[in-house]
Structure 1
Amino acid sequence: MSISSVISILAELLFLALIIRAVLSWLTGVVALQPIARFINRVTDPILEPIRRIVPPLGGIDMSPLIAMIVIWLVESLLLTVLAGH
């Protein structure tokens, strides 16, 4: 497996975790999902917390997952471009 493949897979997993976190935030009352939510929060908090310190919720809507997805996509694209040049 190449380093490019690893980067792409990690980016996709982070995207998926952010999407799952957003969906789970709407399902707060479902007790069976709490262990999953805790795991997803532990994975995504290091990405989202720095963004939240810079960008507060807009009209009560947390934009940090969307911003995180854009940043992840940009970093993935940059890394893959740099690796392709070598």
Structure 2
Amino acid sequence: MYILGYFLQALSGVIHVVLMTAMIVVIARAVLSWVSPDPYNPIVRIINQFSEPLLFPVRKRVPYMGGIDFSPLIVLLVIMFLDNFLVPTLQTMAYSLIQGA
């Protein structure tokens, strides 16, 4: 069972890195929305391409609130919840499987 424990431990580490990367991308997208960046800049295009799949489903469900886009805030809250719930849960499960072997 210790192999499954090490797998869960590695999986929790990968999930943490992916969630933190997504958080950085969403924050960068929000900061870019405050200024007028060049839409043809490669970095701006990459940030838009990575953040749009995260933000679009929320934008479809959240009503338009007078010029304020709450979708980055909602996505950041979901990312923080997953990082604070899912990652420690997987680490605890991994620890219990490793210690039980």
Question: For residue 44 of structure 1, what is the amino acid of its counterpart?
Answer: S
1:8 paired to 2:23: no
8 Å CA contact 1:51–1:64 kept in 2: the answer is yes
| Aligned-CA RMSD value | 2.1
Displacement, 1:18?
A: 0.7
Q: Which moved more, 1:11-20 or 1:75-84?
A: 75-84
- Structure whose alpha-carbon radius of gyration is higher: 2
Structure 1 length normalisation: TM-score?
A: 0.82
Counterpart residue identity of residue 28, structure 2: I
1:59 counterpart letter in structure 2: G
Aligned to 2:64: 57
SS in structure 1 of the partner of residue 75 of structure 2: helix
TM-score by length of 2: 0.72
The runs of 5 or more residues in structure 2 that have no matched partner are: 1-8, 94-101
- Matched position secondary structure for 1:56: coil
Gaps (5+ residues) in structure 1?
Answer: none
Question: What SS is found at the alignment partner of 1:77?
Answer: helix
Structure 1 residue 37 corresponds to structure 2 residue 48: no
| Correspondence 1:20 to 2:20 | no
Deviation at 1:59, TM superposition (A): 2.0
**What percentage of residue pairs aligned between the two structures are identical?**
39
Post-superposition CA distance 1:42-84 (Å, at most 9, x none): 1011110000000023221000000000111122233214313
Give the structure, 1 or 2, with the largest relative contact order (CA under 8 Å, sep 6 or more). Answer: 2
